Structure 1
Amino acid sequence: MTEPLTIYGDPGSGNCLKVKWVAAHLGIPALWHDVDVPRGGTRTPEFLALNPAGRVPVVVFPDGAVLSESNAIIAYLAEGSPLIPEAALARARMLQWMFWEQYSHEPYIAVRRYQLHYLKRPPEDLDSKLAVRGADALQLMDGTLARSAYIAGDALTLADVALVAYTRMAHEGGFDLGAYPAVRAWIGRVEAGLGIGAYV
């Protein structure tokens, strides 16, 4: 039996769940190690020895190698699997959406969720651009998903994994997913494709 890798992550983090889902979907043995981010779990000397950047997720492989950054981890885990297209242009389109997720989606939707859901800050105290740019991201996704079953085409890829993680939690950031019917339908398809339960 293959020795498992260890995932250090916060169970409330979409970025961490990406790694957990891909490992499970591909049958990669993995042990989950809880890191309580709000209580300073990423600032301890032990954690900083693993990742000096002080962020989750982090994966430690059986040989001791360490890898961080969620999209880098899932790309490594999914190498050679159907989650990464073989054709160069299709693979590049997948990467396009994964880069967009970290630059134009997560910084607004995930950050607004964190501030409202975990820090319990009132909406009027938040930077207004979080709501505006988060809604812009969801609108772009909705238009794209009205034309294709998945975000980068007609097959489930890592782009869907990357984007579904915080999109399905967006209501906790004050975003009404009812306004984005194609996104809502896509969330269900991705959850079913990955074998994960619906987030309510």
Structure 2
Amino acid sequence: MSRTDAGLKVYGMSTSGNCHKVKLLLQQLGARYEWHEVDSADGQTRTAAFLALNPNGKVPVLQRNDGRVLTESNAILYWLAEGTPFLPADGWQRAQALSWMFFEQYSHEPYVAVARFISGWTPMDSPRRAELPRLRERADDALAVMERHLQAQAWFTGSDYGIADIALFAYTAVAGDGGIRLSLYPAVERWLQAVREQPAFVAMPLPDAQVQARFSASV
């Protein structure tokens, strides 16, 4: 029996890129799973019940039917993709995919995702908005690295689409919400469209109207 036929439960916030990447891979694997919506912006990851699943108080969380739990979005992607075309069999290519996934969590997500969060989920008078210019500058640095790679290569997971692409896609696709200009990166834009054209692709849902209004006001 495949690990994706094991009645998985996933706890996540649908408008979070870290959660969406897990949902996207599950959909593309044709997996059987239950999605449990958890609004981290509303404090739902700080309840006793959730902290019993993940003491770190973050989504996503994957739970197997035997009760075992896996946290951290890219670790979940790796476990789900093992033995599938979404993770290269060749050791060198696999390491290259992992290097891009580490890049995503260390050099990309802390700037692209945080700029989006501050733009949409904090009040317009929040002192955190003073961070936005620096976050956008660092986000541009990350996108420039991706642009150079994509000028010579089609994907980040080796010769084919896979989990490194999914990891980087989730927040790159919504970088504009944080005031980051994707139009400066034509190779990145071509790659984003190529990801959207993959079989069983599912888009991240839009956040509520109040959040969207803050995105527009923050640009």
Q: Aligned partners of 1:107, 1:135: CA distance in 2, in Å? A: 12
Q: Which of 130, 135, 138 is matched with 1:130 structurally?
A: 135
Q: In the alignment, does 2:174 pair up with 1:174?
A: no
Instruction: Tell which deviates more after alignment, 131-140 or 149-158.
Output: 149-158
Q: Aligned partners of 2:59, 2:135: CA distance in 1, in Å? A: 22
- Shift of the 121–163 alpha-carbon distance from structure 1 to 2, 3 Å rule, reads farther
User: Is the 2:87–2:157 Cα contact (8 Å) retained in structure 1?
Assistant: no
Percent identity, please: 45
The corresponding residue for 1:144 is 149
**Which is bigger in relative contact order (C-alpha 8 A, separation at least 6)?**
2
Cα deviation for residue 124 of structure 1 reads 5.7
User: Is the 2:156–2:164 Cα contact (8 Å) retained in structure 1?
Assistant: yes
User: Is the 1:188–1:198 Cα contact (8 Å) retained in structure 2?
Assistant: no
Runs of 4+ in 1 over 3 A off after TM superposition: 120-124, 197-200
- Shift of the 72–49 alpha-carbon distance from structure 1 to 2, 3 Å rule, reads same
Q: In the alignment, does 2:200 pair up with 1:195?
A: yes
Measured on the aligned residues, the alpha-carbon RMSD in Å equals 1.8
Q: Aligned partners of 2:98, 2:146: CA distance in 1, in Å? A: 15
The corresponding residue for 2:49 is 46
User: Is the 2:112–2:171 Cα contact (8 Å) retained in structure 1?
Assistant: yes
Q: Please, which runs of 5 or more residues in structure 1 have no aligned partner? A: none
TM-score, normalising length: structure 2: 0.86
Local SS of the residue matching 2:156:
coil
The corresponding residue for 1:101 is 104
TM-score, normalising length: structure 1: 0.94
Q: Which of 115, 118, 121 is matched with 2:118 structurally?
A: 115
The corresponding residue for 2:72 is 69
The corresponding residue for 2:23 is 20
Cα deviation for residue 117 of structure 1 reads 1.5
Local SS of the residue matching 1:67:
strand
- Shift of the 66–192 alpha-carbon distance from structure 1 to 2, 3 Å rule, reads same
Q: How many pairs does the alignment contain?
A: 200
Instruction: Tell which deviates more after alignment, 144-153 or 159-168.
Output: 144-153
Local SS of the residue matching 1:42:
helix
Q: Aligned partners of 1:120, 1:168: CA distance in 2, in Å? A: 23
Q: In the alignment, does 2:191 pair up with 1:186?
A: yes
Q: Please, which runs of 5 or more residues in structure 2 have no aligned partner? A: 207-219
The corresponding residue for 1:9 is 12
User: Is the 2:27–2:201 Cα contact (8 Å) retained in structure 1?
Assistant: no
Q: Aligned partners of 1:194, 1:8: CA distance in 2, in Å? A: 24
User: Is the 1:7–1:33 Cα contact (8 Å) retained in structure 2?
Assistant: yes
The corresponding residue for 2:213 is none
